[in-house]
Amino acid sequence: MPSDGLPKNLEPLAAGDPATIGPYVLVGRLGSGGMGTVYLGRAPEKGTHVAIKVIRPELAFDEATRARFRDEMENARKVASFCTAKVLDHGTFQNRPYMVTEYIAGTALAEHIAEHGPLDSGTLHGFALGVAAALAAIHKAGLVHRDLKPANVLLSLSGPRVIDFGIARALNTSTSHTQTGIVMGSPGWMAPEQLLEEKVTTKADIFAWGCLVAFAGNGRHPFGNGDAMTLGKRMLFAEPDIGNLDPPLDRLVARALAKDPDQRPTAQELLLELAGGTDSNDTNDVVSHALHQSWRPNFPPMPPGYPPPSPQAHSGMPGPQAQAQAPGQTTIAPQPYAHPQQGGPGPMPPQAAGPQGGPQGGPQSPPMPQRPGPQASHHTGQIPVVPPTTGRQPPRSPAAQGSSGGPQARPYVPPNTLPPHRPLRPDSSRSRLLIVFAVLGAVLLAVVLVFGLVFFQDWFSSTSDTNPPGQGQEQQSSAPKEDPDDESDKSDTQAADPQAGESLRFDLLDWYCGNQVLDRPLIVNGGEYCVAEIEAHNSANYPVKFRHDLQILAHASGEQTKADAPLHGEGADPLWAGPIQPGDTVRGYLVFIVHSELTPEVLILRSTVDSPGQQIEIPSGQPA
């Protein structure tokens, strides 16, 4: 995560995005889907970061979508905020309902696995426990999530958080809103009963939990790779490959992936077994204590000048406890930005936090004493992978286990343990010096940005529509005037630049439509995806960034549809990977969400906001 506290995958606001929604000032885009867009915003009073989900403009008057959005908000408000995102506010913006939740600073499981590989065994136990706790809270509220997948689980400082109640449904209702582009589940993460369109209960979420834990522990799906049809067949008829999971996860995941829903455990059973406790009314304390032992992601060091963390930051979190080093285990030097661990300081206090979802700080503490032995590798990512220990973990003696505030019939012994924390006094003079340098750097950066904006504004204003950057008006006026009789020069210019003002030249390679394309979520009733595979050539002498929000699909009725933002996998295509360099030719997919009553006719592809656009007719006989 960047040092400014903003997520590294935050997209800037596009041309059609609002600057504010209600009293909230928007900072950027966190993501978008078939029903709405999620923005990062600032609360008006405290300036904390919040997540704001708002319905897409084209669905603002669709009653089924509005009803489903209301259901999502009400369902999210029913669930206790432990291991989920708390709903803070809601309202209407330009007839579009919106919902405001706390912003969870963290990385989606899908992104973490793609960048760092599987979780180590200790963190995996905390992950399985945290997601089980979230499901227990969801099910206790009388809901089924129905869309538990890697993109909907965030890895945060305090543990995993389950988000997105877009298709959650109450157990005591048969209401279904499936009229406009409704995603009823994600391929590869749906239980067999969902695939067969049978009655869906809380046991469907347990099946998804088993897939998630196996995926997080092995870095691969337990039913392998493939399209939706292939994965669906395997999930119905094949046995899963759960890999080499440590006990008790190997046994629990195998039970969770049973084809028969009645053979799967409940979320409460998973929770109690993973937390090492007995059935108790004080479940949060049991979970919090277990997370202290097992949730140990390494985070980047905190910026200096912040107060130290407080062990009483979260309700139910126990304070520091001494913990003995188990024989034969490697001691890991903890990063000062890591989540609190047993024997170390507690979670970050709310008053020490910056903007909501931003970096939560404390002074950079020195590394804790270590026993001689091999050192763990140092990572700088959001949640770098810690190499797991191998072999069985020797049992700790009763004296080394310490006491606990909650019942623990079978206390969990984490794979990696740490010695007691012995904080040293920070070097205050060094901290002050670092703060001064940080402030000076920020001021210098602001000055550079201001001058850069002024320069580029003057630059573009002095450039004509047909001249590339670098050819100003002075060069234009001093250049020799074109001979009107010189037909050869005209023909050469027209041949080299058939559409003046366009830096990019486009070719349509393929065009097709369907309700499930490019690993995107399934669309049923009321719409479909239309995909244009295009090739773009940069004929200018400067790099050009291809933007999805400038690309238009015109319909026979005169209506226009903007291209949808590329999803995670599509963004890796050369077309989206970065600026297209001069002379380069790249390919990629452009996706539109088209309502069933519309008939696509022409693609209008543009290089810049002011360019006229290159029009390409949709091939006749193609599906629309």
> Of 73, 102, 131, which marks where a domain is finished?
102
What is the rounded distance in angstroms from the CA atom of residue 257 to the CA atom of residue 148?
A: 14
Contact by Cβ (8 Å): 71, 217: no
Asked, for residue 469, whether it belongs to a domain, the answer is no
CA angle 55, 59, 64 (to 5 degrees): 95
Q: Which of 47-56, 220-229, 278-287, 410-419 has the lowest mean pLDDT?
A: 410-419
The reported pLDDT for the residue numbered 239 is: 94
* Selection from 484, 133, 124 nearest residue 288 by Cα: 133
Residue among 62, 71, 120, 147 flagged as catalytic: 147
For residue 177, pLDDT beyond 50: no
The reported pLDDT for the residue numbered 382 is: 36
Asked, for residue 128, whether it belongs to a domain, the answer is yes
* 411 and 524 together in one domain: no
Which residues, including other chains, have CB under 8 Å from residue 77's CB and lie 6 or more apart?
Answer: 87
CB neighbourhood size of 622 (10 A): 12
Asked, for residue 583, whether it belongs to a domain, the answer is yes
Single-letter amino acid code for the residue at 289 = H
Averaged pLDDT, 6-35:
86
* 68 and 131 together in one domain: no
| Residues 67-105: tens digit of each pLDDT | 888 877 787 777 766 677 888 888 888 888 999 988 888
Phi, psi of 475 (to 5 degrees): -65, -35
The reported pLDDT for the residue numbered 486 is: 45
For residue 168, pLDDT beyond 70: no
Local confidence band at 152 (pLDDT 50, 70, 90 cut-offs): confident
The reported pLDDT for the residue numbered 289 is: 65
* Selection from 123, 282, 145 nearest residue 205 by Cα: 145
Q: What is the CATH number of the domain that holds 530?
A: 2.60.40.4110
Top-confidence residue, 235 or 520 = 235
Contact by Cβ (8 Å): 132, 209: yes
Query: For the whole prediction, is pTM greater than 0.75?
Result: no
* CA 248 to the chain's CA centroid: 29
Contact by Cβ (8 Å): 508, 620: no
* 175 and 234 together in one domain: yes
For residue 294, pLDDT beyond 80: no
Q: Which of 45-59, 271-285, 498-512 has the highest mean pLDDT?
A: 45-59
Structure tokens that stand for 474 in this block? 């002075």
* 37 and 110 together in one domain: no
**Residue 147 annotated among the catalytic residues of the structure:** yes
* 225 and 261 together in one domain: yes
Local confidence band at 24 (pLDDT 50, 70, 90 cut-offs): very high
Asked, for residue 169, whether it belongs to a domain, the answer is yes
What is the rounded distance in angstroms from the CA atom of residue 20 to the CA atom of residue 572?
A: 30
The reported pLDDT for the residue numbered 496 is: 37
Local confidence band at 284 (pLDDT 50, 70, 90 cut-offs): low
For residue 373, pLDDT beyond 50: no
CA angle 330, 331, 333 (to 5 degrees): 140
How buried is 557 (Cβ within 10 angstroms: 0-12 exposed, 13-18 middle, 19+ buried)?
exposed
How many structural domains are present in the chain? 4
* 88 and 125 together in one domain: no
Residue 565 DSSP label: P
Q: What is the DSSP string of 573-590?
A: SHHHHSPBPTT-EEEEEE
What is the rounded distance in angstroms from the CA atom of residue 416 to the CA atom of residue 413?
A: 9
Q: Which residue spans within 141-192 are E strands per DSSP? A: 143-144, 153-156, 159-162, 169-170
Asked, for residue 81, whether it belongs to a domain, the answer is yes
> Of 102, 130, 158, which marks where a domain is finished?
102
| 66-71 contacts, C-beta under 8 A, 24 or more apart | 66/97, 67/175, 67/177, 68/35, 68/166, 68/167, 68/177, 68/182, 69/35, 69/36, 69/97, 69/99, 70/97, 71/168, 71/169, 71/175, 71/177
* 70 and 148 together in one domain: no
Local confidence band at 583 (pLDDT 50, 70, 90 cut-offs): very high
Asked, for residue 366, whether it belongs to a domain, the answer is no
Average pLDDT, the chain: 70
* CA 193 to the chain's CA centroid: 27
* 412 and 454 together in one domain: no
Is 53 within any annotated ligand binding site? Answer: yes
Local confidence band at 570 (pLDDT 50, 70, 90 cut-offs): confident
Local confidence band at 358 (pLDDT 50, 70, 90 cut-offs): very low
The reported pLDDT for the residue numbered 516 is: 81
- Output the furthest CA–CA distance in the chain (Å, rounded): 100
The reported pLDDT for the residue numbered 595 is: 84
Establish how many alpha carbons lie within 13 A of residue 340's alpha carbon, considering only the half-sphere containing its beta carbon. Answer: 29
* 407 and 451 together in one domain: no
* Selection from 68, 195, 83 nearest residue 131 by Cα: 83
Contact by Cβ (8 Å): 418, 344: yes
* 132 and 85 together in one domain: no
Q: What is the CATH number of the domain that holds 270?
A: 1.10.510.10
List the strands of the sheet with 600-605, edge to edge: 560-562, 552-555, 600-605, 614-617
Which residue bears the tokens 């070719």?
A: 507
Helix count and strand count (H, E) for the chain: 14, 18
The reported pLDDT for the residue numbered 443 is: 75
Asked, for residue 563, whether it belongs to a domain, the answer is yes
What is the rounded distance in angstroms from the CA atom of residue 556 to the CA atom of residue 552?
A: 13
The reported pLDDT for the residue numbered 49 is: 92
Top-confidence residue, 459 or 417 = 459
> Of 69, 86, 102, which marks where a domain is finished?
102
| Residues 190-246: tens digit of each pLDDT | 999 999 988 889 999 999 999 999 999 999 999 998 888 889 999 999 999 999 999
Which residue bears the tokens 């129905």?
A: 146
Asked, for residue 569, whether it belongs to a domain, the answer is yes
DSSP H helices, 226-352, are: 228-237, 249-256, 267-275, 283-294
Domain of residue 51, residue span: 20-102
* 514 and 592 together in one domain: yes
Cis bond before residue 248 (omega within 30° of 0): yes
* 460 and 590 together in one domain: no
What is the rounded distance in angstroms from the CA atom of residue 507 to the CA atom of residue 486?
A: 31
